[in-house]
Amino acid sequence: MDFNTGPGSGGSSSRSGGPSRSGGAGEEFNLQDPVGSFVRTVVAVVTQPVPFFRGIAWQGNFVNPLIFAIICALISALLSGILAVIFPPLFASPQNTGESFVGGIGVLVGTLILSPIFTAIGLVIAAGIIHLLVLLFVKPRNTGFEATFRIASYTQVTQLVSWIPIIGSIIAAIWAIVLYIFGIREVHGTTTGKAALVVLIPVAILLVLFVIVGGALLVFFLGNQQQF
């Protein structure tokens, strides 16, 4: 795995103002070669994330990166559904195995239908939030919303491990944070510290909200238990 930042990382002055470019040395997903370019892009993001983000296009179109993200989400949904159908005891008690099998098929079909919609909506929201923070902390030295959208889209490669029971979602979450930091630093030409700040602020807010909501639900549950 190549995490070498190289001499140009941390913010090159040539990136100020976000000029358009096409591709550079990056290997990106292309609908003209869907299978081959998907595999090559996955390998590039997984094994050489820094060179990959350094070489991707800042502008071009939203379709290719969006389709890449949707394919990753569909693969994850398919594998999760298959796992639920083949190994229902992982998702239900033994006495409910038959019901779980039927339910697993229903969940699989429903997830495959809804996954592209939720992925597209989630990407726009995530990229929007991240780009607002890029504007706040990186300021004029950024390459535009489309560049941030591309980072968010290619970071969805983490979906390919999120289906693994118990540890998959944890690995995917940590891996996504790392990829976002690499992507923002390389694409927007900023420092690692600023890129980490942009990524970790939403993460911290989500964790605080999770603790607050979880604590409120726990207090509510314990209060109801005492009444009985």
pLDDT in tens, 195-207: 999 999 999 999 9
Helix (H, G, I), strand (E, B) or coil at 32: coil
pLDDT(107) > 80: no
- Report the C-alpha gap between 227 and 71 in whole angstroms: 49
What are 67-102's pLDDT values in tens digits? Answer: 999 999 999 989 988 887 777 655 555 555 455 555
What are 15-29's pLDDT values in tens digits? Answer: 444 444 444 445 788
199's tokens: 């990524």
* pLDDT, mean of residues 107-130: 90
Highest mean pLDDT among 24-33, 59-68, 125-134: 125-134
CB contact set of 16 (below 8 Å; sequence gap of 6+)? 140, 141, 189
pLDDT(137) > 60: yes
Instruction: Report the 10 Å Cβ neighbour count for 221.
Output: 10
Please tell me the least confidently modeled range out of 88-97, 109-118, 140-149, 169-178. Answer: 88-97
DSSP letter at 23 equals: -
Quick check: 186 and 50 in contact, CB under 8 A? yes
pTM, two decimals, is 0.79
